[in-house]
Amino acid sequence: MRLSGKVAIITGAGQGIGAATALKFAREGAVVAVCDLNAEAVSSVVEACRKAGAISVGFIANVIDRESVVEMVRKVLGQFQRVDVLVNNAGITRDARLQKMTLTQFDDVIDVNLRGVFHVAQAVVDSMVEQGSGVILNASSVVGIYGNYGQTNYAAAKFGVIGFTKTWSRELGPKGIRVNAVAPGFIDTPILSTVPDEVLEKMRDQVPLRRLGKPEEVANLYAFLASDEASYINGAVIEVSGGMTL
């Protein structure tokens, strides 16, 4: 198992890509700290990880609340003495065209998708520096590379995450810490549950593989990047998009 013995914190792990990543890490032997705002979802994912044979703990943590994040990391360190992997997956959407977007819509997305990534990374980084190793994996998006209609806030946040990744990989690489970003395309997650069928069909048509991605396909990349098999990958932004941006 490629993650045997590694302690991983995964934010936004209650559903979708985060839940799939937690379960993948569990099957690969990691100790999994499942973090989300939804208590019921946290319990469900923790149970699934334990059934897969992993040690797993759950936390109700809000990434925009600095004290909540620091307390969660403190508890993980207290119980397991280290954090080897952080997957900054928590994210939301509040879509609207520039002319219609409210300040609340803009601020909510920036707070969760950008400021939240900063909060959690800063909470774990000192322990990683002290142990001389660690992996930080940030959830960006193809929208953060190419933009997307109606997603000024989301594109800005996900582009900012790429900036974090490039900067932190330079700062932390010499200390034994790798930082990479994953940029999913159209992935079949609960976020798409309200999208009309005709829109989903147009989305599929944009992908050469003619289908949406599966959360597990993103989780597989996270697991690889978290493992020692990816020991010379640092500062990368890797798309999981089925070729939609070709």
Active-site amino acid positions? 154
Task: Name the pairing type of β-strands 56-60 and 134-139.
Answer: unpaired
Write out the chain in H/E/C secondary structure.
Answer: CCCCCCEEEEECCCCHHHHHHHHHHHHCCCEEEEEECCHHHHHHHHHHHHHCCCCEEEEECCCCCHHHHHHHHHHHHHHHCCCCEEEECCCCCCCECCCCCCHHHHHHHHHHHHHHHHHHHHHHHHHHHHHCCEEEEEECCHHHHHCCCCEHHHHHHHHHHHHHHHHHHHHHHHHCEEEEEEEECCECCHHHHHCCHHHHHHHHHCCCCCCCECHHHHHHHHHHHHCHHHCCCCCCEEEECCCCCC
For residues 31 and 86, give the distance between their C-alpha atoms in angstroms, rounded to a whole number.
12
Distance between CA atoms of residues 233 and 180, nearest Å: 8
Return the structure tokens found at 99: 């002319």
Q: Rounded to an integer, what is the distance from CA 178 to the centroid of its chain?
A: 15
Q: Which token pair is 161? A: 């995450």
